[in-house]
């Protein structure tokens, strides 16, 4: 565990996350105001048990008798300890929940059908789908909803809620214009490109993510506190990281477009993942999470091509199949302004 006061009263508590070599660390932020404490995200018990997390928060001088929690989004690594806070009487806030594909520990067939995963390989994917990120046992009924542009006052800080759909549809950031501090969740990451995973059709997540990045690019930010990794300090580095994310998605969408264009007949997310990841090792050589995550990312790319009118889509027996629109005359664009 690393504990660091990054601004007066703002603490970053960083936990090593060995199971995820890309993200590496899982961050929880504590903002101690004059009379109140705000806790942003909760990590998950596999990374840090709730009791140890609460001890770490208390050691920053937190006002635990007058503290509340804001979740930047409902992925497991950010909300895994949220039930612990709820059960301990802390008010917990988040944007309205994103819809997910029907799924439980026994049956993940909806997503597997949609992505075109063959029966032969379902044993590999079924057991790991539930682990993919989604926290299905979160007590959503006890979570209070916050809205875009709402104020979260922790004097001397006054954060605005900025709705930033994309990485998930229920993602938000917290921005204080006076201190120019942004708590970014996973909308912006340090050292890697945040994934956009889709488990259902017609979610329009990549286009929403492009709009969210444009909105964040317009903010005057001196310190960006991300959900994973070191803080991003300074306006130039902050804008450079957003530009890097935009460039990565532009390249990924162009590569997906080319694969669809060169495919013989229709293509699904499972096939696109196999072609896209060709040369990066056989399926048996990497984690199940890696492949499940990438297949849901490929579904995002295919859906974006469909939403932009560059690909046609038909869903047959639950399987989403795509082919290049015969009228497509340009490569996909990822909005950058």
pLDDT digits (tens, 9 = 90+) for 138-188: 788 899 999 999 999 999 999 999 999 999 999 999 999 999 999 999 999
Q: Are 120 and 196 in contact (CB under 8 A)?
A: no
Please say whether the beta carbons of 161 and 172 come within 8 A.
yes
pLDDT confidence of residue 329: 66
What percent of the chain shows pLDDT beyond 90? 68
What is the pLDDT, as a whole number, of residue 124?
64
Phi, psi of 22 (to 5 degrees): -80, -50
- Residue with the bigger pLDDT between 220 and 23: it is 220
Task: Please write the tens of the pLDDT for every residue from 236-292.
Answer: 999 999 999 999 999 999 999 999 999 989 999 999 998 987 755 445 444 566 677
Q: Which residues of 5-28 are buried (b: 16+ CB within 10 A; e: fewer)?
A: eebebbbbbbbebeeeeebbbbbb
DSSP letters spanning 92-140: EEEPPPPP--S--SS--HHHHHHHT--GGGHHHHHHHHTTSSB-TT--G
Examine the pLDDT at 41 and tell me if it is beyond 90.
Answer: yes
Residue range 1-22, pLDDT digits in tens: 999 999 999 999 999 887 665 6
Beta bridge pairs of residue 250: none
Tokens for 124, please give them. Answer: 């590999």
Assess whether pLDDT exceeds 70 at residue 99: no
Which DSSP helix (H) or strand (E) runs through 211? helix 205-217
Q: Name 119's Cβ contacts closer than 8 Å, sequence gap at least 6.
A: none
């Amino acid at each position: 565990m690393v504990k660091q006061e990054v601004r007066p009263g703002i603490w970053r508590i960083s936990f090593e996350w060995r199971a995820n070599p890309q993200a590496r660390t899982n961050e929880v932020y504590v903002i101690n105001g004059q009379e109140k404490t705000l806790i942003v995200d909760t990590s998950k018990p596999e990374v840090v048990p709730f009791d140890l997390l609460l001890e770490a928060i208390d050691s920053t001088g937190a006002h635990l008798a007058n503290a509340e929690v804001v979740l930047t989004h409902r992925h497991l690594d950010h909300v895994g300890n949220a039930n612990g806070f709820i059960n301990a009487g802390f008010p917990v806030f988040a944007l309205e929940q994103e819809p997910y594909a029907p799924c439980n520990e026994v049956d993940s067939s909806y997503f597997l059908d949609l992505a075109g995963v063959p029966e032969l390989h379902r044993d590999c994917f079924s057991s790991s789908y539930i682990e993919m990120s989604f926290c299905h046992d979160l007590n959503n009924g006890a979570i209070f909803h916050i809205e875009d542009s709402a104020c979260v006052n922790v004097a001397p800080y006054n954060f605005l809620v900025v709705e930033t759909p994309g990485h998930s549809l229920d993602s938000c950031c917290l921005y204080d214009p006076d201190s120019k501090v942004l708590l970014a969740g996973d909308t912006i990451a340090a050292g890697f490109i945040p994934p956009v995973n889709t488990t259902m059709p017609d979610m329009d997540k990549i286009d929403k993510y492009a709009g969210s990045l444009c909105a964040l690019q317009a903010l005057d930010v001196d310190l960006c506190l991300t959900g994973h990794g070191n803080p991003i300090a300074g306006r130039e580095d902050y804008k450079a990281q957003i530009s890097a994310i935009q460039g990565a998605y532009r390249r990924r969408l162009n590569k997906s477009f080319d694969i669809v264009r060169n495919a013989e007949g229709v293509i699904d997310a499972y096939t696109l993942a196999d072609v896209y990841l060709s040369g990066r090792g056989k399926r048996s050589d990497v984690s199940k999470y890696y492949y499940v995550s990438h297949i849901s990312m490929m579904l995002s790319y295919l859906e974006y091509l469909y939403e932009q009118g560059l690909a046609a889509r038909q869903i047959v027996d639950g399987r989403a199949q795509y082919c290049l629109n015969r009228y497509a005359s340009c490569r996909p664009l990822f909005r950058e302004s």
